[in-house]
Structure 1
């Protein structure tokens, strides 16, 4: 795909199509190349460490974790997959304030009974924890770091959120919220993308198969529906929150939706729904120095072929 340098006034439309970036970010690549397997690779999660300006991308086909730097055009394989640390696949990735990298395993423990559901690594790639939920059929999808420093992880096969915490060097994972009485399970991927509310007192979670957002109170773990006034959010995958802005990456819908989110996370109003590149299925994203880093999953290809990329988008404002 060709890359064109456009003026700042054209940056939004250009970056949403994956074609260019504003002149203000001309020193940074607009696409980042990922390594992949000869037989085809697919990708999903992305984490970002603001302190080191490094990003981490998960490969679903093998479970490799790739790492890149904002000023470099190419990423490299950081953690091997294919059974390394019991990891054959990987989904969501996030990084905490200590630079520790959390990797959600998706169906890893389903496809390989007894294998871990989640891993934690330090910045040097040293394994700190490999954890099992103990919950049957758990599909760990996406993660966010809470104000307490713990990681909160969604289950796409049940309306549950797990909490991952470390105390005195001991790591634990437990079912923090079970909203089975509130959130009906539908066919397909249920709970996925997860972010904090602007006031940091709740979690906002996407249920992509039905296009809903849910609010989980961090004090009570109670789930309630976010009032979206009927906004179309079907195929909601990755969520990104900054202030009162909430960006929703809607994978197979090929749309980036922008909503205004109330401080408590109870109300969200659609501001725009901007088409993304029709030749890409984008999944998760992280905000890095004013740009969205978005994973091109290759989920629309039976056998994926290069280039494998993370693209950059200028996030629309409400």
Structure 2
């Protein structure tokens, strides 16, 4: 073998890793939990709720209820950082559900931020953190809880005060929030949080939405907005909050019940069969979760603490 060929072969051998080698090393290097920066000046500490995942860039975003800050983390780094300031920034004093679209735009639900204040109910930011829109939702008693991207690329926000879903998209006249579905004739408003977690079905023709206060799941047709109950066989889903779909399986994060229910969900979202109920850590109230690079990230809300104390975390093992 010529000297140049030998050198080339050695270089290839030195830089080539067997299948799974580099990927496995990277996987094992990822932290088992992620630290969120708390607000040292807050008399009630910091409490968190929503999480959005940018699969393409390996980023996730976490919303802070106390102040409305939005934190951003990277899949391979244990420490997150504050990405968007709160305490009135862009009219945002609290933040709830959060999601990311294919372009990297970040949608933030404001919960009660606009009730009786005239402030925005939701915000849209570019992946660089520039404000694209700060909008009021239709109605006067709107508590936007969670948000998912639909098959049309628009964002769909659930209302916890009424059986409504708000659609947000950019048109020729700019960004606009419209009442997309009003299911108040079918879903009875109950005391507590009504519509919350929302996910798209496997066939992308409907949304499955949780009604946590009564433990029910509802199917909203993605084309017409028509609503029907998801047949769950009477599964206990009280305190259903965040929803995560993995193919044909649906995980339901049951916050104060401190359980995660796993169901087999039909591709059209009409039927769900309970497979298991798993207890989460007794020391945490997990609110919601998202899948990112093959793992599920759960938000530890600190909702069970009158004055929250650290460590503030996003965890990958909900039982610890």
Q: Give TM-score scaled by structure 1 length.
A: 0.90
The aligned length equals 293
1:291 Cα deviation (Å)?
1.2
Instruction: Please give the secondary structure, in 2, of the residue aligned with 1:273.
Output: strand
2: distance between equivalents of 1:172 and 1:149?
Answer: 14
CA distance in 2, matches of 1:23, 1:149: 35
- Equivalence for 2:246: 242
* Structure 1 segment 1-318 matched on structure 2, within 5 A: 25-38=27-40, 39=42, 40-110=45-115, 113-168=117-172, 170-313=174-317
**1:169 Cα deviation after fit:** 6.8
Residue 6 of structure 1: aligned partner: none
Residue pair 1:291, 1:314 contacting (<8 A) in 2 also? no
**Which range moved further: 162-171 or 85-94?**
162-171
Q: Distance in 1 between matches of 2:186 and 2:138?
A: 22
SS in 1 for 2:133: strand
Q: CA deviation at 1:219?
A: 1.6
* CA offsets 1:34-56 (integer angstroms, 9 cap, x no match): 01111300000000101110100
Deviation at 1:313, TM superposition (A): 3.3
- TM-score, normalising length: structure 2: 0.89
> Is contact 1:212-1:234 (8 Å) kept?
yes
Q: Structure 2: how far apart are the matches of 1:97 and 1:72? A: 23
Structure 1 residue ranges, 4+ long, deviating more than 6 angstroms after superposition: none
Tell me, in whole angstroms, the C-alpha distance in 1 between the residues paired with 2:239 and 2:292.
23
Instruction: Give the CA deviation at 1:314.
Output: 8.2
Shift, 1:23, TM fit: 9.0
Mark the runs of 5 or more structure 1 residues left unpaired by the alignment.
Answer: 1-21
Inter-partner Cα distance in structure 2 for 1:23 and 1:256? 29
Larger radius of gyration between Structure 1 and Structure 2: 2
Counterpart CA distance in 1 for 2:268 and 2:232 is: 14
Greater RCO, 1 or 2 (C-alpha within 8 Å, sep 6+):
1
**What is the CA-CA distance between 1:168 and the residue it aligns to?**
3.9
In structure 2, how many angstroms separate the alpha carbons of the residues matched to 1:278 and 1:168?
Answer: 49
Aligned partner of residue 313 in structure 1, secondary structure: coil
Residue of structure 1 equivalent to 2:18: none
What SS does the aligned partner of 2:57 have? coil
- Cα displacement (A) at 1:26: 2.2
Distance in 1, Cα, partners of 2:120 & 2:296: 30
Cα pair 2:138 2:179 within 8 Å, conserved: no
Change (3 A) 1:314 1:208: closer
Unaligned runs of 5+ in 2: 1-23
1:13 matched residue in structure 2: none
Please give the alpha-carbon distance, in whole angstroms, between the structure 2 residues aligned to 1:89 and 1:50: 25
Change (3 A) 1:109 1:314: closer
Any conservation in 2 of the 1:121–1:127 contact (CA below 8 Å)?
Answer: yes
